[in-house]
Structures are given as C-alpha cells and as structure tokens.
Structure 1
C-alpha cells in the first residue's frame, strides 16, 4: 500500500532535504511555488493526503493530453517537482541528476598523477581527501599543458613558480592544501627516481592554520523536547527516534548510523561494535536500554521486510539503505517541530547531537580520554575542542580583574 501523508508535512521534510543538499536559493523558491500550486490542486479536488497517485493526477492536469515536448519550461518544472516529491516520499532521498565531472589525466604526466593517487589510496588515504588532491593536481596538469609542458623531464622550477603565482584567486585554506598536495607529488617523483631534481623545495611553506569553530550544542532540555516531538506510533517515527537516540546517547556519526548492520549489535552482551567510516577505527559502545528498546521497537513494528543487512532503511519501496543527507533532514525536521529557539543560528544535523553528548559528558566531569573513547576519536587532541564550550569549568579558571586604581596598574605604568 502506498503511504499517504499530509502535503505540508511532506514538503517540510523535503524542503529541509533540498537545503541540506545545497540546492540554490532560487531552486528552493521554485519548489515552494510548485508546491503551492500542488496544494491548490489538492484543495480544489478535496484531496486530504498526498501519495504518488495524487502526483500523477496533478501531472495529468498540467499536460492535458499534450506531448511533453510541447510543454513550456514552467510546466516541465512543475512535473519535475511532482515527481521529486513522490520520489522523496517513497524513498526518503533524491537521486542526483547532475552529470559527474570527468577528469582528463591524459599524456605522460597525467598517467603519473593517476599512479601517484593510486599510491596514496593504497596508503589508506580517505576517498574525500583523494578527490581533493585529484582536483588540485588536475589544475597543475592543466597549467603545464597550457605552457606546452607535456613531459616530466621538461618541468623546471619556473613552471612551478608560475603556477603558484596564479593561486591568488583561491582562499588561504585552498592554497595551503594545494601547496601540500603539490609538495607531496613532487617528492614522490624524486624519491621514485622519476625525475632527477627534487622540486618540492620550490613550494613555499604555508603559515595557514585552520581555526576550529565552536561546536553547536543543545541543552538536555532541548534534546528531550526533540525526542519527545517524534510520533512513535508510526513506522517512520519508530525509525527516526531510534536513529536520533544513537546520535544523542552514543554520539555515533551519521555515516555510522546509516551503515549500522545487524552484525554490529551483540544483543547478548548489550554491545555495539562498529568500524567507523571516518577513522576506520573499531569502537565498542554499550547498548543502552533506552537505545536497545527503540531499535527493537523499530525492528518488530516499523521496519519493512527486507533482506538488506542495514538496520535503517527507507519506509517505502525500494527499501534502500538510508543516506546521510536524509538523516540530516530528519533531525532538522524534528528540531523545527520541537520549536527549538534560535535554530537558524545553529547547525542542526545529527553531528550537533554528537556535540551535545560531549558537552553533557564534560558537565558531568567525565575525563577527556573517556569522552574521546566514547566519540571514537583517534586521539584526545580532537576532543580538546569541546573544552571551549565547557563554560562552568572555564569560569573556574578565570582570574579576578583588579580595579583601575589598584597598585597593580600603578606598578605597570611605572
């Protein structure tokens, strides 16, 4: 049976999802106008709930037995909006329709770059890191091609310096990453005797240092209101509640929640054991009673029958594994539903729930190494950033400021 849902509830979730996918503001407004026309159509025809059949009727009212090629741009957009709305209701995600960029690493230098990237992959570099390095090295390759440098033995220091001088249009962070990537590539060429000169010395040292932003956190009361806002009487609510509990009570990342499999839960020992997607580090966490009961409730009364080994799946066919942007949309939807104040000034995805757990543990005077173990950090250095949000402890470190007419200032002046 196709799922029925109030249109306003559906477009509220979908609107958040579009925003999480970084859809342009103009595109979001176009969807809003399309949904208004869809809503008018439902009101006119006394339709209370939306499903795919309603979407098809709406599309038929637009086409009026005309071929798709005869429709205007606005009408085609409305059809796409209706199809996307039905797709999101059925699967919880929107398939990307943009054409992926093809990288042209041709020629001698291009092939060496691909060999270098494969070398980094074997060393365990993350996929996102490799993708960034691929883009940076492609820019360097394009620069060499533009200067008719098609062979490695023709590269000179001046070609590298010219490339560096043209980086002024980029941000400091991008320039820093480009320097690092290019330096590593040039060292690789020399160390493997592909070139006779170590040109890595040409790359200047960057003084750039990324400043960590303060993590977004929510209070215990706000987390309580968030979880209470979930309607756990339906399959979607049971699933959403269990997923948010994993983030709020155990601090799991969105990637690990979406990839959680049945084999990761040891019900006899009440333990969750996972290999983290981000760090590739295996962590073991206690399966808290509250979390375990929520997962059981979902598995028994909410999860569709599926042979998929992932615990959390879409509520309608096709029963695919949930994607991280969808979980982000879910958390944002319930934060809005819970009417959390100043939400527009905060981050509002599952990672904020993870940050909130860390803050709560700090308030309970939990040692940093323990918090680091709970969050699955590779070292306590990553955990130290939370010290900046432990206001109570910071207040204890504050020093009393002497009055302006005190001997302290008089001595300083003299």
Structure 2
C-alpha cells in the first residue's frame, strides 16, 4: 500500500482541522493515528479497511475502536481523494457500491464499452450516460443472478423476468428499457451477434406519464407568507425565492457563482449542470433583493465563489441534499403537501412556473428557454396542467339529453 501522499501531505489535513475550529483532542486523535499508520506501514495492508482491521485485532479497548473507525475513514478520504472532514458526516471507508462492481468481466466490459462509445458518438450529457450505464449494469447483474455468465447464454425468460414479475405485471419503466437498449446497441460494435439477439428479446413497452403535480395558488400564498416572516434565514429565503420565481434546478442553485449575478444588467447567467448549456434569466427585484440581503448580511466570509455557503463550520458550498431538505422544511412550516402520495421536491417549483407561463399564453419556445430545456417538446407534458386553456377545449353536451339518474349519486 502506497502511503507516500499521506507521508508528505498529512500536515495539510492537520492544519485544515486547526483552521476549521476542531478541538485539540480531535486533532490529537488524527495526528496520533497518522503517526501509527506511517510507522507500521505493514506490507499486508492493501486498503484502509485492512488498516482498521489490524488495529481492531490488536486493540483491547472498546472505546478506542469507536473513534478509530471514523478517524481512519477520515484519513482515507484525505489521502485518496483530498477530501477534508466537515463536521456534518461520519467518515466511513470508501467501498465501491452498485451493480457494476458486482458484474463479471464480460458484462463489465459491455458497460465500459458503452461509456466510451457514448462519448465517441457525441453524447455529452454525463447524466444521460450515467443513467443508461446504471440501467445496463442493473440489467446485466439480473442476468448474472439468473445464471447467465455472458449474453450468449441469455434466454427470453431471463430478459422478461427483469421487466415483469411472476404475475406478468410490469415492474420496470419504458425509460429503463430504453436505457438498456442504448447499452446493447453500443455493444453491437463489440459483440454483434449476441447483442443483436438480446435486443430482439427486449419487450416493447409503451411510455406512460403520470399527471404532473403543481403547486396550487393557496400553497404559493402560504409559501410567500412564510417568506415574509423571520422564521427562515436570509439564505433559505433567497434559495426559495429563486426556486419560486425562476424555476431554476436545485443543482444549479448550489453551483451558482457570485459572478453569475449581474447586478448592472439585472440578469443571472449560468451553465446548467444537467444540459451543460448556457442559461440567462431576468433578475426580478424580489429575487435580487433576497440574494443581496443574504450576501451582505449573512453570507460567511470564505474562499469559495459560490453564492450559497453552509452555515456550519467549515463554511463550504452546499450539497444538493441541502436544497431538498430545505424544500421539505418549508412545506412542513407552511403546512402544505402533507398528504400521502403528494409530491415534495424542487421540481414542483418548475412545474408551477411552467403552469403560470402557459396560463399567460406564453409560447412554448419561450417557456423552453426560460426553463433551460434544449428542446421545445420538453414542455409538452406540462400542457396537462394548463387547466384554463384545457377548459376551453371542452365540448358542450347541451344538445344531448341525459337521464336524471346520471346525476343521482345516492
């Protein structure tokens, strides 16, 4: 096990902990553990998990074991990925998880080939590549569990059992099937006959979309009422204002830079994480004021250039989970969407903005640009939320006589 990086750079970890306000006792535990690891440097060690198991075998103090696991995990994060302790998570050992890591060499090669093929043929969206490779890996892992060690041994029942349960009910979406199909199509270049055969075994699934949920006017009023109180911090108010009035994605909020906000032109300019395309949004007064108040009055002083920073020390850019947590917190405080099955998430704000724009007769290309979609067709599913215009499409039945019994609901 190569400990050169830890040996040369461990003082950087210690200095970070000092500057971040960690207690002297915690710093001592890290320094003491690093010294022990570097002094022993056993040939039998191949990972930090091996290091922990060694100390677990020689320790006689149970209290000693509790802190060692977390400290050794923290040292591993620093040594391998230059990640520092942040007070908000317990450092555990880094172990690869997911279906891909359980695949045999033949199936894993197909996933690796797909990723290379996707980039070679112009697929630039990392999220698309990740989603399709994940579906492919899960599909291959299922086949592997059914006893298939390669595509040549796959039968129709093996494929169908991934998409249907024993009663013949659908358990996978058409999107999942589409992703698997993309991986197998790429595999034709690697193994033509086997991939083409399995492609023919995939079921043809019809795409079904659930009705898109939107915020009601009453729910929006309750959120605005909450924003007018002192319950939320200035940071949280600014984030919710962005969600409510711009429909920006949560991942783009956490990546928003200070220089992305042009105060002279009253615009926000950013590169979207999902599509990697540029987006320009008008900076409305209520949104701009909320961001300004946060930056001037509450934002911690730090070296990061992202607008929104964690409140806890050490002050760092937010994680996307923080935005999700904040939305749930706001809905709970506003006492909305507490019913079973009601959707809670940042996308509700995008749905709501789209509905409002549709109701104002905004053209689909304009809505698509505001939302940062790359295709105007992406707005089509939202048309079902435009109730005022849908009502205009209703046909009168006044010329068709209806028996009174139809209206008798008793």
Cα distance in structure 2, aligned partners of 1:93 and 1:201: 49
Deviations 1:74-122 (A, max 9, x none): xxxxxxxxxxxxxxxxx89656869651604453553353233233255
Query: How large is the Cα RMSD of the aligned pairs?
Result: 3.7
1:296: Cα distance to partner?
A: 0.8
Q: Is 1:227 matched up with 2:224? A: yes
Cα distance in structure 2, aligned partners of 1:341 and 1:137: 35
Instruction: Give the equivalent residue in structure 1 for 2:12.
Output: none
* Aligned pair partner of 1:269 in 257, 265, 269: 265
1:253: Cα distance to partner?
A: 0.8
Instruction: Give the equivalent residue in structure 1 for 2:360.
Output: 364
Instruction: Give the equivalent residue in structure 2 for 1:23.
Output: none
Cα distance in structure 2, aligned partners of 1:290 and 1:262: 17
Q: Is the 8 A contact 2:246 2:281 kept in 1?
A: yes
SS in 2 for 1:312: coil
Q: Is 1:259 matched up with 2:255? A: yes
1:319: Cα distance to partner?
A: 1.1
Q: Is the 8 A contact 1:218 1:352 kept in 2?
A: yes
Instruction: Give the equivalent residue in structure 2 for 1:61.
Output: none
Q: TM-score, normalised by structure 2?
A: 0.65
Q: Is 1:159 matched up with 2:157? A: no
SS in 1 for 2:280: strand
1:332: Cα distance to partner?
A: 2.1
1:184: Cα distance to partner?
A: 3.7
1:256: Cα distance to partner?
A: 0.8
Deviations 1:40-59 (A, max 9, x none): xxxxxxxxxxxx99xxxxxx
* Aligned pair partner of 1:211 in 186, 190, 208: 208
1:205: Cα distance to partner?
A: 5.5
Cα distance in structure 1, aligned partners of 2:295 and 2:271: 22
Q: Is the 8 A contact 2:269 2:280 kept in 1?
A: yes
* Aligned pair partner of 1:373 in 359, 369, 373: 369
Cα distance in structure 1, aligned partners of 2:235 and 2:334: 18
Alignment of 1:195-344 (within 5 A): 195=191, 197=193, 199-202=195-198, 203-204=200-201, 206-230=203-227, 237-340=233-336, 344=340
Cα distance in structure 2, aligned partners of 1:341 and 1:145: 40
Q: Taking CA–CA contacts closer than 8 Å with sequence separation of 6 or more, which of the two structures ends up with the larger relative contact order?
A: 1
Q: Is the 8 A contact 2:214 2:351 kept in 1?
A: yes
SS in 1 for 2:210: coil
1:188: Cα distance to partner?
A: 3.1
Q: TM-score, normalised by structure 1?
A: 0.65
1:325: Cα distance to partner?
A: 2.2
1:68: Cα distance to partner?
A: 4.4
Cα distance in structure 1, aligned partners of 2:106 and 2:202: 28
SS in 2 for 1:293: helix
Q: Is the 8 A contact 2:257 2:307 kept in 1?
A: yes
Deviations 1:345-366 (A, max 9, x none): 5323222122111122222222
Instruction: Give the equivalent residue in structure 2 for 1:114.
Output: 112
1:241: Cα distance to partner?
A: 0.7
Pick closer, same or farther for the CA change 1:293–1:70 going to 2, 3 Å: closer
1:185: Cα distance to partner?
A: 4.0
Q: Is the 8 A contact 1:313 1:320 kept in 2?
A: yes
Q: Is the 8 A contact 1:358 1:371 kept in 2?
A: yes
Pick closer, same or farther for the CA change 1:350–1:277 going to 2, 3 Å: same
1:292: Cα distance to partner?
A: 1.1
Moved more, 107-116 or 207-216: 107-116
1:259: Cα distance to partner?
A: 1.1
Cα distance in structure 2, aligned partners of 1:138 and 1:391: 39
Instruction: Give the equivalent residue in structure 2 for 1:60.
Output: none
Cα distance in structure 2, aligned partners of 1:230 and 1:405: 51
Q: Is 1:140 matched up with 2:135? A: no
Pick closer, same or farther for the CA change 1:173–1:370 going to 2, 3 Å: farther
Pick closer, same or farther for the CA change 1:70–1:308 going to 2, 3 Å: closer
Instruction: Give the equivalent residue in structure 2 for 1:130.
Output: 130
1:147: Cα distance to partner?
A: 5.3
Give the count of matched residue pairs: 317
1:227: Cα distance to partner?
A: 3.0
Pick closer, same or farther for the CA change 1:200–1:308 going to 2, 3 Å: same
Structure 1 unmatched ranges of 5 or more? 1-51, 54-65, 72-90, 407-414
Instruction: Give the equivalent residue in structure 2 for 1:25.
Output: none
Pick closer, same or farther for the CA change 1:166–1:215 going to 2, 3 Å: closer
Q: Is the 8 A contact 1:173 1:210 kept in 2?
A: no
Cα distance in structure 2, aligned partners of 1:339 and 1:110: 47
